[in-house]
């Protein structure tokens, strides 16, 4: 999985990454789909222990241009988990109240508590992406926000939050296909935003903003994973594998029952 890691001490160039890449899984979609099923079963078990142990906090960040598959990833990876311990936070255009605070104010309110797994569908990174592409902040302001984001995530990590950030990377042709699929399917037309057509004209600017985001904010305690996402099954399988691997490393355990188990059994049997 380290092949997908954006290392803090190395710079990446998106034009050298193939969003169509499937690595060693090339031509193995059926096997990959089966493996994903196994991974989601493992994730269900790990998330239950996470919730029961009430010790660790997990934050998963999903970023990507429209059509990259953020919603589909959430459905496919987390379909079987206990919703009591999993939350999804969506960050839309800031409200007037949110704009009256610093840009991280609304983000901090959504971070996971002990035992929780929280998924950010879009995130605080919108504040160094769309606002930069549309020249709403200066280069100096953008750099300041990179530093503030790094400090914020460092604080969360030091307070016990495991942070996993995934950039879903697709090609412009795949985005075009997926947007057309939304228009051609009456059950998906509600997801289409006419503004997506205008935003496509800024593709190169967005890719530069994403590249800078990855290079400035991938930290050892809050790393970015760059996921080739032209193939839905591959994208989802790799993300699930990374999450399962990282949760397994936590060596979580079900909490032991306090008290005399045998005495509790005898008492129940007398009823």
Mean pLDDT, 10 residues at a time, the chain of 271 residues? 87 95 95 96 96 97 95 92 90 89 95 97 94 94 97 97 98 95 92 87 96 97 97 97 97 89 83 73
Structural domain containing residue 165: 2-269
Give the Cα separation of 222 and 150 in Å (integer): 8
Check residue 82 and give its pLDDT: 83
Q: How many CB atoms lie within 10 A of CB 86?
A: 19
Q: Is the sign of the CA dihedral 163, 126, 199, 135 positive or negative?
A: negative
Structural domains of the chain, count: 1
Check residue 16 and give its pLDDT: 94
**Looking at residue 94, which CATH number applies to its domain?**
3.40.50.300
Give rounded-to-5 percent helix, strand, coil for the chain: 55, 15, 35
Contact 237, 25 (CB under 8 A): yes
pLDDT tens-digit readout, 115-146: 999 999 989 999 999 999 999 999 999 999 99
Check residue 91 and give its pLDDT: 87
Q: Which long-range contacts (CB under 8 A, 24 or more apart) does 220-224 make?
A: 220/8, 221/153, 221/154, 221/157, 221/158, 221/163, 222/150, 222/153, 222/154, 222/156, 222/157, 222/163, 222/165, 223/5, 223/6, 223/8, 223/163, 223/164, 223/165, 224/5, 224/6, 224/165, 224/166, 224/167
pLDDT tens-digit readout, 6-26: 999 889 999 999 999 999 999
Specify the residue for token string 């994208």. 235
């Amino acid at each position: 999985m380290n092949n997908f890691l954006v290392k803090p001490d190395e710079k990446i160039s998106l034009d050298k990454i193939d969003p169509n890449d499937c690595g060693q899984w090339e031509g193995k979609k059926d096997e990959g789909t089966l493996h994903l099923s196994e991974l989601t079963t493992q994730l269900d078990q790990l998330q239950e222990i996470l919730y029961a142990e009430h010790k660790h906090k997990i934050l998963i960040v999903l970023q990507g241009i429209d059509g990259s598959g953020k919603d589909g990833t959430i459905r496919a990876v987390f379909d079987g988990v206990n919703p009591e311990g999993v939350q999804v936070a969506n960050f839309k255009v800031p409200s007037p109240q949110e704009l009256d605070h610093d840009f991280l104010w609304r983000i901090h309110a959504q971070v996971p508590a002990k035992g929780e797994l929280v998924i950010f569908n879009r995130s605080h990174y919108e504040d160094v992406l769309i606002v930069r592409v549309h020249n709403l902040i200066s280069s100096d302001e953008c750099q300041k926000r990179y530093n503030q984001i790094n400090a914020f995530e460092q604080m969360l990590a030091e307070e016990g939050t495991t942070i996993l950030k995934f950039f879903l990377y697709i090609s412009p042709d795949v985005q075009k296909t997926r947007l057309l699929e939304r228009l051609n399917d009456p059950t998906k037309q509600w997801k289409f935003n006419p503004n997506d057509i205008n935003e496509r004209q800024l593709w190169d600017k967005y890719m530069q903003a994403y590249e800078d985001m990855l290079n400035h904010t991938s930290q050892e305690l809050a790393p970015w994973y760059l996921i080739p996402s032209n193939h839905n099954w591959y994208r989802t399988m790799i993300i699930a594998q990374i999450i399962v691997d990282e949760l397994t490393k936590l060596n979580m355990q079900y909490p032991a029952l306090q008290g005399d188990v045998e005495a509790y059994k005898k008492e129940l049997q007398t009823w």
